[in-house]
Structure 1
Amino acid sequence: MSQLGLHQLVAPEDAKHDIVFVHGLFGNRINTWTADKGPLWPQTFLSQDIPDARIFTFGYDADVTKLNLNEELTEGTMESHAADLCQRLSGFRAVTESSDRPLIFVAHSLGGLICAQLVVKGALAGETDNIAIISNNTRGMIFLGTPFHGSPIAPFAKVFSSMVSVLHKTHTQKVKDLEQKSEKLRILAESFASALNQRIRENQEIRVAFFHETKKYLGVLVVPELNSRIPGFGDHASINANHSEMCKFSNPEDPGYQSVVAAIRKMAADLDGKGPDASAHSVHYANTYLGNIKNQVNGNQTIHGGMHFA
């Protein structure tokens, strides 16, 4: 089965919300959310805990290297992946007459940047554009190890992919975009914070939650806590796993799973009118964040070995 595009996992007849999973760098729409010898938890555990949600998983080409010389390398960027996600999702929802259904995204690593990008671009697009339709119906986003301010291992990944390019085709742009102090990431983080602020002012707030890893991967935290969130917005917490494993849960009692499903439940309660209003709090701290983001300074770390985050 192809790992690209939109795949529906669960479709209850009385669905109130759509939940969409978006994987990260080196991942795919199935393996990223599947523990070793475990189930695809969005399809199994989550469908039981959130029975009124239709659940999708989205796949895109997230490989830095292509080890098959006969396989063409796609030139996808965060912008094009966001557009593709919105085109496929908007089309599916139109066919099923559910275009106005509230959306919650759950994203790992690079996938979170793609989701942030769709909110930013959606705010600028025409109201009938796919990206605007999806953005305007988005009511929640959960970010798992998303490098809003880059990753200390991205420079290593760039070197690694350059070495492989001697024998194989490579695409280093995705990794370059993830480097600490990346201008592209700085602009995206600022624009995302501004878009979230705008939605609050319009009484169409997008609830957000940020999770960071606590265990090192190959001797380093791939996305340290401070790099994984937009200060002033939403909840932030840890998952006791490394970057690769923080999105894989083998059973519903896993503390990481419990934290993520609690965040989804909170967002769903907000959509049903049962949650608290945190808008004033968000606006106050977001304004401080927008004034100071350019001055953020991150340390450097060194890792040894190869990488595989799926």
Structure 2
Amino acid sequence: MPPSAGQTNGFESADRSLQITGPNTAELQTAAKAAKVQLLAALQSVLGLIWRRQVVRFFAFVTSYLTLVSRYGSAKVLGVLRVSVETKKARPAVTAAPLLRELAPCEDACVQCQVLVEPDQPRVDVVFIHGLHGSLRNTWRQGDWGNRVRTGSPARRVLRAAGDAPCRGAATALTDEPYANCWPKEWLPQDCPDARVIALDYTTDPFLWRPLWMQQVSRPTLQHRSKEMVRQLRNIDVGTRPIVWVAHSKGGLFVKQMLVEEFEQQETEQDSCVSDSKSAELPPFCRQTKGIYFYSVPHRGSSLALIKTPLTRRSVEIMEVAKDSPDVLNLHERFLKLCQNERFKPAMVSLFETKMTFMSVVFLRIVAQESADPDVGELYGIDLDHRQICKPRSRHCFLYRRLTALIDQVL
């Protein structure tokens, strides 16, 4: 039966509706594909963000581990990590903070003064001060570089010397003496029995370049530490007899800060009487300072402190020794002014390294010649790096023999 006109119009309207909805279905499929692509891209972005975060965490762990190992030794760090992991298994609420608290000394006791050798009747005080990330155990131990060097003296370049210069071809004087864990304590009583040996040990931030995700720790400044050093030295009567200062790296800046502040304080007090100020006697530390022995001291700063990384911030302690920083240059100018005083004439010896120092992954020059030269006294270039220059191989090494000669000269 042929369709009626109404039915025909119904089929035609249905065909027209299909023709209209057909293009919309294709658009819907296209939009679905686009949404799927966007979803996959978003998922990839999230996965990439998580991957980058894991990379940052891994970099933070490596940085922290290398810093702690360089300061405290791998054996102690691994032992503390093992204890921390076992404790964490027993008590999940424990964080990684106890590791730093166990390794780092107490921040309140930022300076510790130790008398290593006390003779019955001392005639001179020999005061040792280490540099950044140094300590009594790490800085002043016997060196093992002699296993790779044939000559008994590492001094190769003599730039400015008074008296006999070290012999380049000096024969190695080997002895069967036991290894010295602290050569000032074990050697000086044999060669300088009249010397009282004192060591100033101070804490330093374990992170000279602290990661951005770690909280910044408030640290004492160089001026604050130097005042604490003066206070503790006076408590053991330093300043009542001749003094020989022995300093490595930043320790030399503390020596200059203590001397300069004492000198300027007396100068200020006597400023009202110019004639009396010129003829006045120097304060105790300056008056009794008869010798200064510098092991690679950055008198004009170190370029190492200028290094910046995108994921770390420099600590106050490292920024205090930045190359050509106003504070470092100002301190050296004040020290040179003190050296111009007719009553302040200590014998001064300066050594600087001529080899690069290995720092984690690269070799760097910590203290250059122009920075280690104080423009006064003797100056020697030493074929060692920054860490080894304060570690004599034996009692016959130039690094040690020149110091004992300076002490004998004072006596």
Query: Structure 2 matches for 1:264-303, cutoff 5 A?
Result: 264-266=407-409, 268=410, 272=411
Q: Does 1:122 align with 2:262?
A: yes
1:28 is aligned, of 124, 135, 151, to 135
Amino acid at match of 2:264: L
Q: Does 1:146 align with 2:297?
A: yes
Q: Does 1:195 align with 2:302?
A: no
Matched with 1:91 is 235
1:211 is aligned, of 332, 345, 351, to 351
> Please, which runs of 5 or more residues in structure 2 have no aligned partner?
1-104, 144-178, 270-281
Task: Give the C-alpha shift of residue 265 in structure 1.
Answer: 3.0
Matched with 1:77 is 221
Assess, with a 3 A threshold, how the Cα gap between structure 1 residues 64 and 110 changes in structure 2: closer, same or farther: farther
- Residue pair 2:223, 2:257 contacting (<8 A) in 1 also: yes
Query: Structure 2 matches for 1:1-310, cutoff 5 A?
Result: 4-35=111-142, 38-63=180-205, 65=207, 73-93=217-237, 99-126=239-266, 132-156=283-307, 159=308, 163-164=311-312, 172-198=315-341, 201=342, 203-218=343-358, 219-231=363-375, 233-266=376-409, 268=410, 272=411
User: How far apart in 1 are the matches of 2:406 and 2:326?
Assistant: 30
Residue 30 of structure 1 aligns to a residue whose secondary structure is helix
- Residue pair 2:286, 2:344 contacting (<8 A) in 1 also: no
- TM-score using structure 2 length: 0.55
Amino acid at match of 2:379: H
Residue 254 of structure 2 aligns to a residue whose secondary structure is helix
- Quick check: which has more Rg, 1 or 2? 2
User: How far apart in 2 are the matches of 1:83 and 1:133?
Assistant: 15
Residue 113 of structure 1 aligns to a residue whose secondary structure is helix
- TM-score using structure 1 length: 0.72
Amino acid at match of 1:207: A
User: How far apart in 1 are the matches of 2:288 and 2:392?
Assistant: 28
User: How far apart in 2 are the matches of 1:240 and 1:261?
Assistant: 20
- Cα deviation, 1:39-64, whole Å, max 9, x if unaligned, reads 21001112211111000100112235
- Residue pair 1:38, 1:250 contacting (<8 A) in 2 also: no
Task: Give the C-alpha shift of residue 72 in structure 1.
Answer: 9.5
The structure with more helix, counted as a fraction of residues? 2
- Residue pair 2:357, 2:385 contacting (<8 A) in 1 also: yes
- Cα deviation, 1:180-206, whole Å, max 9, x if unaligned, reads 1211111111110001112xx2x3422
Matched with 1:168 is none
Superposed CA RMSD: 2.9
User: How far apart in 2 are the matches of 1:23 and 1:259?
Assistant: 18
Q: How many residues are matched?
A: 249
Residue 42 of structure 1 aligns to a residue whose secondary structure is helix
Identity of paired residues, percent? 24
Residue 184 of structure 2 aligns to a residue whose secondary structure is coil
User: How far apart in 1 are the matches of 2:216 and 2:301?
Assistant: 28
> Please, which runs of 5 or more residues in structure 1 have no aligned partner?
166-170, 273-310
